[in-house]
Amino acid sequence: MSPQNFIVEAMRNLRLADGCKGSQVYAVSPGDKASETRMKVEQSKPLRASQTEHTATDGLNCPKAAMRSLRLARKHASHEHERLVYEGWILYDTGHREEALKKAEESIAIQRSFEAFFLKAYALADTSLDPASSANVIELLEDALKCPSDGLRKGQALNNLGSVYVDCGKLDLAADCYVSALNIRHTRAHQGLARVFYLKNDRKAAYEEMTKLIEKARNNASAYEKRSEYCERDMAKADLSMATQLDPLRTYPYRYRAAVLMDDHRENEAIAELSKAIAFKPDLQLLHLRAAFHESLGEMEAAIRDCRAALSVDPNHADTVELYNRVSCRK
C-alpha cells in the first residue's frame, strides 16, 4: 500500500459529522409535545453555543485501525511535507491540537497540498471558532479544494465548509457546499443539507433529505437518530427504535424514550429505560437524568445514589451538584 493509500484508508475510518464545528440542531417547534421531550433530554447534558459534532476520540469508527494507518503512512512517506501531515493527524488524534496546527503549517510552507490545508482547518475549527477563526477555516478549506485530491476528501472538505457557513448564518452558501458534495457522491452531505432546510423553517424538507440518506445507507443508525429530530413524536419513536435495533449502544434513543415515558406519566418505565443505557454506559448525563427522575417520584435515596455516581465522573458538574444539594435537603 502506498503512503497516499494509507492516509485514504485512515480517512475512511474518520466519521466526520456535519462539519468542522457544527451546532447540534434539534427540531423544536413551540407547543410540540416532541419538542418538550427533546428539551428534557437535552437539559441533561451541557451544550455550548457552537458544539463540536466530532472529536478525535468519537470521530473514529475504528481508532486503532486509523492510528495504525497513519503511523504506517508516516513511516513510508516519500516526502517531508507528507510526513508532517501524518504526524499532524497523529498529534490531533491524541489531543495535541496546537502541535497538529504547527505540523500543518510546516507542511504548507514546503508544499501547498489538500491534506495540509484540510488538517489545519480541521484542527483550527476544533480549537476555537470565533468569527475570525471561522473566516480562517473557510479560507483554508477553500485553499484545500483548489488542490488536487480525490472525491472522498473533497467531499469531506465541502461538507465541513458547509457546516462552517451554517455556523456563520450563511445558509445559501452552506446549501451550495452540501449540493456540491452530493454531486461527487458524498452521501453524508444529506445530513448537512437537512440541517439547512430545518434552519430555514422547512422541517418537511429536512425530514425528506434525511430519508434520502437512509435510502442510501439503510443500516446507518445515526441517520435514523438524526431524522427523528425532524418529525413528530410517534415517527421519532419509530426512527429511534430502528436506531437502537441497528446499534444498541447509542444512548440518545434511550434518553428520548425515557423522556417520552415521563411525559406519559409512566415514571417507573422511564427509569427502567434509562437503566438499560446505564448498564452499558454509566455516563454523567444518563446518571444525572435518572437522578432527576427519581427526585420527581420522591425517591430521594435513589436520587442521591445517582448523583453521587455522576459526581464521581465529574465532581464539578454544576447541575448535578445543585440537584444533589436539593435532594439531600429533602431527604
Instruction: Give the residue-averaged pLDDT of 238-251.
Output: 97
Q: How many residues does the chain have?
A: 331
Residue 118's nearest CA partner among 133, 104, 132 is 104
Percent of the chain with pLDDT strictly greater than 70:
81
Condensed to tens digits (0 to 9), the pLDDT of residues 279-317 reads: 999 999 999 999 999 999 999 999 999 999 999 999 999
The residue whose grid cell reads 427523528 is 228
Q: What per-residue confidence (pLDDT) applies to 130?
A: 77
**Mean pLDDT score across all residues of the chain:** 84
| Cα 186 from Cα 322, distance rounded (Å) | 45
Condensed to tens digits (0 to 9), the pLDDT of residues 6-37 reads: 444 333 333 333 333 332 222 222 234 444 44
How would DSSP label each residue in 248-273?
TT-SHHHHHHHHHHHHTT-HHHHHHH
Instruction: Give the residue-averaged pLDDT of 229-240.
Output: 96
| Cα 290 from Cα 271, distance rounded (Å) | 6
Q: What per-residue confidence (pLDDT) applies to 9?
A: 39
| Cα 294 from Cα 272, distance rounded (Å) | 11
Q: Which of 64-73, 97-106, 179-188, 204-213 has the lowest mean pLDDT?
A: 64-73
Condensed to tens digits (0 to 9), the pLDDT of residues 39-57 reads: 444 443 322 222 233 333 3
Residue 143: pLDDT over 70: yes
Q: What per-residue confidence (pLDDT) applies to 131?
A: 79
Residue 164: pLDDT over 60: yes
More confident residue, 34 or 155: 155
Q: What per-residue confidence (pLDDT) applies to 274?
A: 97
Q: What per-residue confidence (pLDDT) applies to 58?
A: 36
| Cα 59 from Cα 3, distance rounded (Å) | 22
| Cα 21 from Cα 173, distance rounded (Å) | 16
pTM of this prediction?
A: 0.74
Q: What per-residue confidence (pLDDT) applies to 325?
A: 96
More confident residue, 60 or 85: 85
Q: What per-residue confidence (pLDDT) applies to 4?
A: 46
Longest dimension (CA), the chain: 67
Residue 240's nearest CA partner among 226, 232, 249 is 226
More confident residue, 129 or 197: 197
Residue 60: pLDDT over 50: no
Cβ partners under 8 Å of residue 91, min gap 6: 97, 99, 100, 103
Q: What are phi and psi of 220, to 5 degrees?
A: -90, 100
The three cell numbers of residue 70 are 497513519
Instruction: Give the residue-averaged pLDDT of 165-191.
Output: 96
| Cα 85 from Cα 208, distance rounded (Å) | 38
More confident residue, 43 or 96: 96
Q: What per-residue confidence (pLDDT) applies to 197?
A: 98
